[in-house]
Structures are given as structure tokens and as C-alpha cells.
Amino acid sequence: MIDIRGVTLPVISIRIKEAKDLNSLKEEIKSKVKGKLFQGSYFIIENPQDLPPDWIEELEDFLKELSLESIKRIGSKEKRKEVRSDRLLVVDKSLRSGQKVEHNGDVLVLGDVNKDAQVVAVGNIIIMGTLRGIAIAGALGDEEAVVVALKMEPQQIRIGKKIAISEESERVSPGYPEVARVEDGMIVLEKV
């Protein structure tokens, strides 16, 4: 009836495949997101246009009761830009060369960060695409921050005061998601 998949912690994506009855839909969602794993996560309802309008608000309220926070997705007919929450900024587009996003929290990019584009975050950076540009996580000195990308081919990664710069031809993604973190005073890449 529905698919629930982790986009990346702390964000889950909910796609409702079939919905005949709101109450049975709520019960199925409750059974899939129970437990501590999803508590405090943000959620995205991927296909709100497929549901009756009065269901959306009721589902969002229901999910908030389950200790989840909503990321309001802006429909594709409107301009899809940025969605802000207290600690999470969702950039619902790819960043082109010369574009820069800064946020006083975590940043989730639902697209690519192309060469010469920058993402600067006081917290973590998660890129649901390819990182070819510059990612600066832990911008106020937090070396516990991480940078995650589905394909990691950065010009530069900074975490806290640590910097890793790659040559143009040096870095080719191994084909799986990676996380950059500070370990023993150096930025290292690990398989997610």
C-alpha cells in the first residue's frame, strides 16, 4: 500500500502507492515507523498530489504525533527552491557553478552540487546526488560533522578546520555512497 525508505538519517521518504481509506493508511504508516529508529526524523510525503487535499494535513499531524517532523515539499508546478526547518535546510534542486548555499544547521541537497558550487553548513551536509563542488561542514569548527554523498567527486571538502583538496583527475567515485569524516586529524572517506 505504501513504501517507506530512508533517504538519509534523519530524513525518511514516504510514497503512498494505494490509499483507499485514511484510517488503514495511518495504521500501516504507524506499523512501519514505530520504534526509536525513526523518532525525531524528518519526513517527506513524495506524492501529495495523488491524495485528497484534506488527507495531507491530517497525515502530517498524525506523523507529528509519532515524533516525526515535516519537510514541506513544494510542488513541481511551483518554483522548487529551498525548504527551511529549525535545524535542516532542504535544497530541492541541483546547484550549478557559482551558486552557494549557507545554513546554520544541517543541509540536505536533493540533487547534485556541481563544480564551483558551494554548500556551507554549521552541521552536516547530505547530498542525494554527486558532489563535484565544495562542501564545508562544521563551519564553526565542529570536527564531528560529516559530508555524505551518493557519488563523492569533490573539488574540496572542509570539516571544521580540516581541508581535503582533490586534483581534477584524481577522484572518481567508486559507485557507492560515501561519508567524509575527520579521523585521527585527517578527512577520510568511508563506504556508507
Topology of the domain covering 2-70: Transcription Regulator spoIIAA (3.30.750)
Average pLDDT over residues 100-105: 91
Average pLDDT over residues 144-159: 94
pLDDT in tens, 3-37: 554 444 456 778 788 878 889 888 888 888 876 66
Q: Which distant-in-sequence residues (6+ apart) come within 8 Å of 23 by Cβ?
A: none
Query: Across all residues in the chain, what is the average pLDDT?
Result: 81
Q: What is the DSSP string of the chain?
A: -EEEEEEETTEEEEEES--S-HHHHHHHHHHHH-SSSSTT-EEEES-GGGS-HHHHHHHHHHHHHTT-EE-PPPPTTS---EEE-SSEEEE-SPBPTT-EEEESSEEEESS-B-TT-EEEESS-EEEEEEE-SEEEESTTS-TT--EEEEEE--SEEEETTEEEE--TTT----SS-EEEEEETTEEEEEE-
Q: Give the pLDDT score at 169.
A: 62
| For residue 76, pLDDT beyond 60 | no
Least confident piece of the model among 99-108, 115-124, 165-174: 165-174
pTM for this entry: 0.59
Closest by CA to 160, choosing from 179, 182, 180, is 182
Average pLDDT over residues 119-148: 93
Domain locations in the chain as residue ranges? 2-70, 82-191
| Whole-number Å distance between alpha carbons of 40 and 42 | 7
Q: Give the pLDDT score at 73.
A: 42
Backbone angles phi, psi at 4, to 5 degrees: -125, 125
Most confidently modeled of 58-62, 70-74, 118-122?
Answer: 118-122
157 or 59: which leads in pLDDT: 157
CATH 4.10.490.10 fits 82-191, yes or no: no
Average pLDDT over residues 76-100: 70
